[in-house]
Amino acid sequence: MKRSLMRLCLSVMMMMCLAGIVARAETPEDTLIMAHAIDDVTSFDPAEVFEFVGGEISNNVYLRLVVRDENDFTKIAGGAAESWEVSDDGLTFTFKMRPDLVFASGNPVTAEDAAFSLQRVVKLAKSPAFILTQFGWSAENVDEHVRAVDEQTLQLQIEKPFAPTLVLNALSAGVGAVVEKAEVMSHEKDGDLGHGWLRSNSAGAGAFVIRDWRPNEVIVLEANDKYYLGKPTLNRIIVRHVPESTTERLMLEQGDVDIARQLGSAQLEAISSSSDLKIDIAEKSTILYLGLNQGMKELADPKVREAIRWLVDYDTIAEKLLKRQYRTHQAVLARGNFAASTDTPYGFDPEKAKSLLAEAGYPEGFKLELDVFAASPFQEIAEAIQSNFAQAGIQVSIVASDRRQTLTKYRARNHQAVLMVWSPDYGDPHSTIDFFVTNPDNSDASTTKTAAWRNKWFDPELKKIADAAILERDTAKREEMYAEIQRGLQTNSPIVVLFQQTEPTAMRKNVENWVSGPAFDTYVFRGITK
Amino acid sequence: MSATPVVDRQPDGGQTAARLATHGSAAVRFTASLALTLFGLVLVTFLIARVVPIDPVLVMVGDRASPETYEKARQALGLDRPLYEQFFLYLSKVVVGDLGQSIMTGDDVLSDTLRVFPATLELAVIGTLLGSCLGIPLGVLAAVRRGRIADHVVRILSLVGYSLPVFWLGLVLLLVFYAKLEWVAGPGRIDIAYQYTVPEVTGFVLLDALLAGDWGAFTNAISHLILPASILGYFSMAYIARMTRSLMIEQLSQEYVLAARAKGVPASAVVWRHAFANVRVPVLTVVTLTFAYLLEGAVLTETVFAWPGLGLYITQALFSADLNAVLGGTLIIGICFVLINRGADLLYRVFDPRTR
């Protein structure tokens, strides 16, 4: 028996050695390998993409009709369309397509392709379709309202004279991506406008094409050598699914990946002194806020809501718990976006909060349930808030649940208070303001589930300003209107904005030109070198 | 002369018929038990998935979809129908092999599970092999040397293996063998350099590399596999060794062992030919259970090692409230459990003549 045991141990050791002596293949020079959590990817069809990773891939695979300027993301620049004009009545937008523009297939990009792309978004009616249907387009009328006048001219008719920046910003979202009509329609099945095929393939004029996608495993992008701004520097971008952040860190340190996207505060701190790695910090449009349900009598009192604003130790939480990830911000529009307010009128003042609570009739405080995602850093923030609120007698019990479970509860208005994330759907302030101000039917039966409805709140005055702002063509006036709405939300609403996200991206020192942009779908890979 | 063969053939024919009838009824019993098990499995999983307080439509269309899009998706998922109707609709599709479409990947669940299953199977097979090859001899050794140092060492090893969180152990081993010593390759099944050079034939990376005759890819795949498989092997070893030890201790205290020793039978023959022969069947059960557990219980290992297997697939489906994927994955695991148990039943006959 001893001998057989010895033999066994020897074989195991031999296997270990065999594996150990295998020289690991070097990361190819012309390929960027990125570790990321890609489990949210369900589709790459621009008519459907509405998740984080899908959004960033889409921006690199498709050229949108107009794009957000990479040098100043608050501005709109030409994409597949080189220029545009707005009619005097503000109802007609005419786009001139970029001449000599071709798809990755080599076929020309025409106005017909652009019209088809917008029409199919509306007809397929997937999640992001509302970005276009808000202009009065429906499956029935979109062919009339979106049409190619000739090969180079695209004309859009909208229902109301919306501010041109609103329309252009909406078209710079993923739904504005131009797909190759002939290629997509050659894969059409049962009238799906090629959706089944486009979910996992690409037919665009972006800097890359999708070579391979294995759900929860890998996404492979290959450079499009026909891209109108020139072939990207790297031939390939490979996104590997690495669900565990500690594993990501080890892979980055070992040089098995060039970029790690999911590192937490502690891991970033640990690698910050490494001479082989660096951390890029980008300001994002995502905000973290507390939603206070007005169905709870204590929270319906304006004095209590104000007390809560004085009860968060914003700066300490940002510095100690959210280093590199979030910074203090108190307005719904995130810094770096058009019309965003950077005012931070509230600080941590438990005494002031106590007196406000006393005035409201709660000198001893009250009990409050706080729903939160069971993930870092949300739970840590909730614990800090719990301790802050306790100083004025508000006893917070934290309900940490799966992200989707918390969201389901919030959408059903079953929360008392919730710590929630908001990220705008496109670059215009209307995307955010609409979500926080609109509430046409405050009954439980309402199908409009905005933040205002979820917190059982409505301010008709703010709504009036918001409605006027989407039609205001004078940019300066529009900016002032949004400033007023933000002040209103900041002082007298159930929305307590706490922080704005800054996205840290850890990478090898030789990686250059990483562009994140403010939104979930503004990443630009084409200039990256290593 | 002519009558003899006829007489001889009659009982033969009778035995064959009886044997066929026995096999036939066994097959019917097996099929019925498989069907019943799977029906119960689908029913329970279906009900559990329905009481989870997550809105599957929300997962499908996102938080910002218009009410019309939301309603369309709800109808597409059949959620507007009564619960019993949803269940029987699902069941009728399952019977014809349609496990539905996954919200998470957009693909049909059957092809999803077939895609991820080889990764798990590869890991589980190697893990079980390592666990059995080490666990059984160690368990026997501990029983033979009961109360001595070897026994204590095996017991501590088993206890540690049983108590250590797999997640933590995985990260520590990665840190030591991958990051510090650089003996093994990192997470994932194979280096990117080989991922697209080895044609995918069976879905088992090791086999595919061999079929392609790519020795570099094969050793690279082993280098990736060795750490997660060793972890699973260690945990299996801990369980198998513990169980083998207690089974062997019981046998070694029997009178026939004493008699064999008294007769001067060599010690190794007493242990392996006499005592171990009597624990082969329960040990086989332990190994079978371990293997079946690794098929669906390796989720933490798969997470740490970015191993795209079935455990990870089902867990992520659960978090996404992806009902079809959860049900489909559970069904596949259920079928595996039943088949593995059936396989073990057949193996009992090899090891134990009384069951033939």
The model's pLDDT over A117-128, given as tens digits with 9 standing for 90+, comes to 999 999 999 889
Average pLDDT, rounded, for chain B:
85
pLDDT single digits (tens) A349-376:
999 999 999 999 999 999 999 999 988 8
Give yes or no for B226 touching A (CB within 8 A): yes
Which position has the higher pLDDT, A11 or A515?
A515
Closest CA to A62 of A120, A149, A139: A120
B306 pLDDT higher than 80: yes
B23 pLDDT higher than 70: no
Give yes or no for B163 touching A (CB within 8 A): no
A512 pLDDT higher than 90: yes
Residue of B nearest to A423 (CA): B64
User: What string of DSSP letters covers A43-86?
Assistant: ---TTT--SHHHHHHHHHH--BSEEE-TT-TTSEEESSEEEEEE
Average of per-residue pLDDT across A128-148: 95
Say yes or no for a CB contact (<8 Å) between A242 and B272. no
Residue of A nearest to B194 (CA): A25
Confidence of residue B77 (pLDDT cuts 50, 70, 90): confident
Taking only residues 209 to 248 of chain A, the set having a beta carbon closer than 8 angstroms to any beta carbon of chain B reads 212, 214-218, 220, 238, 240-244, 246-247
pLDDT single digits (tens) A431-444:
999 999 999 999 99
Q: Which amino acid is at B115?
A: R
Provide CB contacts within 8 A for A482, sequence distance 6+: A333, A339, A429, A433, A469
Residue A321: strand, helix, or coil: coil
Confidence of residue B176 (pLDDT cuts 50, 70, 90): very high
Residue A258: strand, helix, or coil: coil
Share of chain A above pLDDT 70, in %: 95
A7 pLDDT higher than 70: no
Give yes or no for A126 touching B (CB within 8 A): yes
Which residue among B67, B186, B305 sits closest to A256, beta carbon to beta carbon? B186
Note the ipTM here. Answer: 0.77
pLDDT single digits (tens) A41-92:
888 999 999 888 999 999 999 999 999 999 889 899 999 999 999 999 999 9
**What is Dmax (Cα atoms) for chain A?**
94
Order of strands, sheet of A146-150, starting from the edge strand that comes earlier in the sequence: A81-86, A92-97, A153-157, A146-150
- pLDDT in the model for residue B356: 63
pLDDT single digits (tens) B327-350:
888 888 888 888 888 888 888 877
Confidence of residue B17 (pLDDT cuts 50, 70, 90): low
Confidence of residue B7 (pLDDT cuts 50, 70, 90): very low
Distance from CA of A82 to the nearest CA of B (A): 30
Which position has the higher pLDDT, A345 or B22?
A345
- pLDDT in the model for residue B10: 47
Confidence of residue B6 (pLDDT cuts 50, 70, 90): very low
- pLDDT in the model for residue B18: 67
Partners of residue A214 in chain B, C-beta under 8 Å:
115, 308
Using only C-alpha atoms, chain A has a radius of gyration, in whole angstroms, of 25
Say yes or no for a CB contact (<8 Å) between B69 and A405. no
Average of per-residue pLDDT across A400-412: 87
Confidence of residue A14 (pLDDT cuts 50, 70, 90): low
Q: How many CB atoms lie within 10 A of CB B87?
A: 17
Residue of A nearest to B181 (CA): A20
- pLDDT in the model for residue B30: 79
Average pLDDT, rounded, for chain A:
92
Q: Do the bridges between strand A326-328 and strand A495-508 make them parallel or antiparallel, or are there none, so unpaired?
A: antiparallel
Confidence of residue A461 (pLDDT cuts 50, 70, 90): very high
Taking only residues 375 to 434 of chain A, the set having a beta carbon closer than 8 angstroms to any beta carbon of chain B reads 402-405, 407-409, 411, 425
Spatial contact of A437 and A459, defined as CB atoms under 8 Å apart: yes
Confidence of residue A508 (pLDDT cuts 50, 70, 90): very high
Q: Model pTM greater than 0.90?
A: no
A26 pLDDT higher than 70: no
3-state SS track over chain B: CCHHHHHHHHHHHHHHHHHHHHHHHHHHHHHHHHHHHHHHHHHHHHHHHHHCCCCHHHHHHCCCCCHHHHHHHHHHCCCCCCHHHHHHHHHHHHHCCCCCECCCCCCEHHHHHHHHHHHHHHHHHHHHHHHHHHHHHHHHHHHHCCCCHHHHHHHHHHHHHHHCCHHHHHHHHHHHHHHHCCCCCCCCCCCHHHHCCCCCCCCCHHHHHHHCCCHHHHHHHHHHHHHHHHHHHHHHHHHHHHHHHHHHHHHHCCHHHHHHHHCCCCHHHHHHHHHHHHHHHHHHHHHHHHHHHHHHHCHHHHHHCCCCCHHHHHHHHHHCCCHHHHHHHHHHHHHHHHHHHHHHHHHHHHHCHHHC
Say yes or no for a CB contact (<8 Å) between B316 and A39. yes
Which residue among B130, B193, B219 sits closest to A19, beta carbon to beta carbon? B219
Angstrom CA distances, B299 to B18, B129, B308, B315, stand at: 46, 19, 10, 7
- pLDDT in the model for residue A20: 47
- pLDDT in the model for residue A25: 47
Say yes or no for a CB contact (<8 Å) between B178 and A404. no
pLDDT single digits (tens) A272-328:
999 999 999 999 999 999 999 999 999 999 999 999 999 999 999 999 999 999 999
Confidence of residue A204 (pLDDT cuts 50, 70, 90): very high
B21 pLDDT higher than 80: no
Confidence of residue B2 (pLDDT cuts 50, 70, 90): very low
Confidence of residue B64 (pLDDT cuts 50, 70, 90): confident
pLDDT single digits (tens) B212-238:
999 999 999 999 999 999 999 999 999
Helix axes B166-173, B215-252, angle to 10 degrees: 140
Give yes or no for B55 touching A (CB within 8 A): yes
Which residue among B66, B72, B304 sits closest to A130, beta carbon to beta carbon? B66
Which residue among A19, A127, A251 sits closest to B64, beta carbon to beta carbon? A127
Q: Which amino acid is at A112?
A: E
Spatial contact of A312 and A487, defined as CB atoms under 8 Å apart: no
Which position has the higher pLDDT, A277 or A264?
A277
pLDDT single digits (tens) B240-291:
999 999 999 999 989 998 899 899 889 888 899 889 988 988 899 899 989 9
Q: For residue A112, which phi and psi values (nearest 5 degrees)? A: -65, -40
Say yes or no for a CB contact (<8 Å) between B319 and A20. no
